[in-house]
Amino acid sequence: MNAKTTSAKAIFVCQECGHVSPKWLGRCPACQAWNSLVEEIRTAKPPARKAEAAVPPRRLAEVRSDAAQRLSTHLAELDTVLGGGLVPGSLVLVGGDPGIGKSTLLLQAAFQVAARGTRVLYVSGEESPAQIKLRADRLGSAPQELFLLCETGLDAILAAARELSPAVLLVDSIQTLAHPEIASAPGSVAQVRECGAALLAVAKDQGPAVVLVGHVTKEGVLAGPRILEHMVDTVIYFEGDRHHDFRILRAVKNRFGSTNEVGLFEMGSRGLTEVRDPSRLFLQERRAGSSGSAVTVSLEGSRPLVVEIQALVAPSYFGMPQRRVSGLDYNRSCLLLAVLEKRGGLALGTQDVFLSVVGGLNVLEPAVDLGLILAVASSLRDQPLDSDLVVLGEVGLGGEIRTVSQPERRLQEAEHMGFKRCLLPRANRPRHAPAAMEWIEVDGIQDALAQALTGHNPRR
């Protein structure tokens, strides 16, 4: 046998953290995950020859910082999250639950970009051309500059990218690609890592904006090695409830823009539609005079959203009362119920409590704590809050009402939706409150319960 012949060896790689072990282990010694080590066959390559020439170091002061010319997707909400559009030579990773609309979003963006004469290559490793055509027919006539490739082999995808030289390369999804030099199955740690690195090289060398779709685990995080999120320029999550129409596009990493922006879409029969006034849609079916309902304002990125929190409190006929939460953090909700019982004097130990955010949104910021507290108290006492009242405030373990960020923006959005009064922390007195808005200052939940459920004392 020739001495230069390469040899192959088997190793085991953790699918959770990428730890490499020479033998199989039931539990990863790095991240402590069980049954996460997967066998991979790696080929030992001969050592690379020393490069004959290298790029010399440059002074940082001599490097030109020309602003990149962004490529608009012509979807305003998507452009906002990206920071103004796609940057040529960038690598974008889009993740989300199955069936949430990731492929629909990218196909709509491909339609919009290609319709303006920009060449786009859409690569699908999960669907056949006929399946993609069925979805595309809902969006209208396919533009001439939109090309489709249904392929999982990385070599074929790279060859097509070199031949077509597209300005935008969309890959759905990274977990379906197979690198020819990696013996493990598609979706494994090694495959995702090497395919991501190859597509990153295409973006940096040939200049197209590359967008990857990534699967998520049952915990809601992107599947595959964490290094994939480190190597890409932008990481976007597409969130929402498949049983509701609203979707939120959120950037958690963006080297070319802010991560404080979100985009809102509504899923319909003809794909995703941008939502310009989401607060009005969330409140359009609200019933005035109904107990167990409180309206608050949540900041999603830098966008204020007026949302309705509903609570249903009913006697429990079992030894352990039920706690069911939708759209709110379960652990924090249970904590607030304990604070309400201890500091507010409401007996909830024998009551089932059901909490929900209308519209299928996930509202996680602490500024909605007071809305949750008042919704539960309203349902328990069967006494509705005033229909023109909006509440803001974070609740501490001592029952105190703490300040929230950007109260002026929240109040402006509430006034835009027709609310006349606001219950907010005393220390949160707004400097530039809307002229038509009255506010009620409170210090603790006892004060808030008295003002919201028995009367009010507006202070201007």
Distance CA 75, CA 132 (A): 20
Q: Tell me, yes or no, whether 17 and 125 share the same domain.
A: no
Q: Tell me, yes or no, whether 270 and 353 share the same domain.
A: no
Three-state DSSP class for residue 445: helix
Looking at per-residue pLDDT, the higher value among 172 and 13 belongs to 172
Q: Tell me, yes or no, whether 321 and 394 share the same domain.
A: yes
* 301 dihedral zone (left: phi>0; alpha: psi -120 to 50; beta): left
Tell me the average pLDDT across 327-350.
Answer: 94
At 220, the pLDDT band (50, 70, 90 cuts) reads low
Three-state DSSP class for residue 110: helix
Tell me: pLDDT of 40 over 90: no
Tell me the average pLDDT across 143-161.
Answer: 94
Distance CA 305, CA 277 (A): 9
Task: Write phi, then psi, for 144 (nearest 5 degrees).
Answer: -70, -25
Asked, for residue 459, whether it belongs to a domain, the answer is: no
Tell me: pLDDT of 192 over 60: yes
At 5, the pLDDT band (50, 70, 90 cuts) reads very low
Cα angle for residues 446, 450, 452 (degrees, 5° grid): 115
Question: Last residue of some domain: 220, 252, 276?
Answer: 276
What pLDDT score was predicted for residue 52? 54
At 459, the pLDDT band (50, 70, 90 cuts) reads very low
Asked, for residue 411, whether it belongs to a domain, the answer is: yes
Tell me: pLDDT of 450 over 80: yes
Asked, for residue 258, whether it belongs to a domain, the answer is: yes
Tell me the average pLDDT across 405-418.
Answer: 90
* Residues 208 and 166 sit within 8 Å (Cβ to Cβ): yes
* 345 dihedral zone (left: phi>0; alpha: psi -120 to 50; beta): left
Task: Write phi, then psi, for 308 (nearest 5 degrees).
Answer: -110, 125
* Pair of tokens at residue 11: 């190793």
Q: Tell me, yes or no, whether 349 and 213 share the same domain.
A: no
E strands present in 400-437: 401-402, 421-425
Task: Write phi, then psi, for 330 (nearest 5 degrees).
Answer: -65, -45
Tell me: pLDDT of 93 over 90: yes
Looking at per-residue pLDDT, the higher value among 33 and 292 belongs to 292
pLDDT tens digits, residue range 110-145? Answer: 999 999 999 999 999 989 999 999 989 888 888 999
Asked, for residue 50, whether it belongs to a domain, the answer is: no
Tell me the average pLDDT across 226-253.
Answer: 86
At 215, the pLDDT band (50, 70, 90 cuts) reads confident
412-447 core/surface letters (b: 16 or more CB in 10 A; e: else)? bbbbebebbbbbbbbebebeebbeebbbbbbebbeb
Question: Last residue of some domain: 227, 258, 276?
Answer: 276
For 134-138, 165-169, 335-339, 400-404, which range has the lowest pLDDT when averaged over its residues?
Answer: 134-138
Q: Tell me, yes or no, whether 39 and 80 share the same domain.
A: no
Distance CA 222, CA 460 (A): 48
Tell me: pLDDT of 354 over 90: yes
Mention every residue, 6+ apart, whose C-beta is less than 8 A from residue 318.
Answer: none
Distance CA 184, CA 42 (A): 9
How many C-beta atoms lie closer than 10 Å to residue 231's C-beta?
14
What pLDDT score was predicted for residue 99? 84
What pLDDT score was predicted for residue 50? 55
Asked, for residue 327, whether it belongs to a domain, the answer is: yes
**Percentage of residues in the chain having pLDDT higher than 70:** 91
Tell me: pLDDT of 438 over 50: yes
What pLDDT score was predicted for residue 4? 45
**Kind and range of the H or E run holding 194:** helix 189-206
Tell me: pLDDT of 49 over 60: no
**Kind and range of the H or E run holding 124:** strand 120-124
**Kind and range of the H or E run holding 91:** strand 91-96
Q: Tell me, yes or no, whether 302 and 417 share the same domain.
A: yes
Asked, for residue 57, whether it belongs to a domain, the answer is: no
What pLDDT score was predicted for residue 456? 44
Q: Tell me, yes or no, whether 260 and 319 share the same domain.
A: no
How many C-beta atoms lie closer than 10 Å to residue 131's C-beta?
13
Domain residues for 110? 69-276
What pLDDT score was predicted for residue 139? 86
Q: Tell me, yes or no, whether 213 and 328 share the same domain.
A: no
Asked, for residue 460, whether it belongs to a domain, the answer is: no
Total tally of structural domains belonging to the chain: 3
At 458, the pLDDT band (50, 70, 90 cuts) reads very low
Question: Last residue of some domain: 247, 276, 305?
Answer: 276
What pLDDT score was predicted for residue 35? 83
For 375, half-sphere exposure in the C-beta direction (CA atoms, 13 angstrom radius) is 27
Distance CA 305, CA 406 (A): 13
Residue with structure tokens 């107990």? 291
Tell me the average pLDDT across 428-450.
Answer: 84
Asked, for residue 35, whether it belongs to a domain, the answer is: yes
Top-confidence range, 182-191, 230-239, 355-364, 368-377: 368-377
Q: Tell me, yes or no, whether 255 and 286 share the same domain.
A: no
Tell me the average pLDDT across 97-117.
Answer: 92
Longest CA–CA span in the chain (Å) reads: 92
CA-closest candidate to residue 139, choices 117, 115, 116: 115
Mean pLDDT of the chain: 86
Q: Tell me, yes or no, whether 292 and 223 share the same domain.
A: no
Helix axes 445-454, 330-344, angle to 10 degrees: 80
What pLDDT score was predicted for residue 338? 95
Tell me the average pLDDT across 359-373.
Answer: 90
* Pair of tokens at residue 91: 């690598």
At 1, the pLDDT band (50, 70, 90 cuts) reads very low
What pLDDT score was predicted for residue 318? 83
**Kind and range of the H or E run holding 169:** strand 168-172
What pLDDT score was predicted for residue 68? 64
Tell me: pLDDT of 72 over 90: yes
Residue 319's Cβ-count burial label (10 Å; 0-12, 13-18, 19+) is exposed
Q: Tell me, yes or no, whether 272 and 286 share the same domain.
A: no
Which CATH number covers residue 269? 3.40.50.300
Q: Tell me, yes or no, whether 351 and 332 share the same domain.
A: yes
Tell me the average pLDDT across 287-309.
Answer: 89
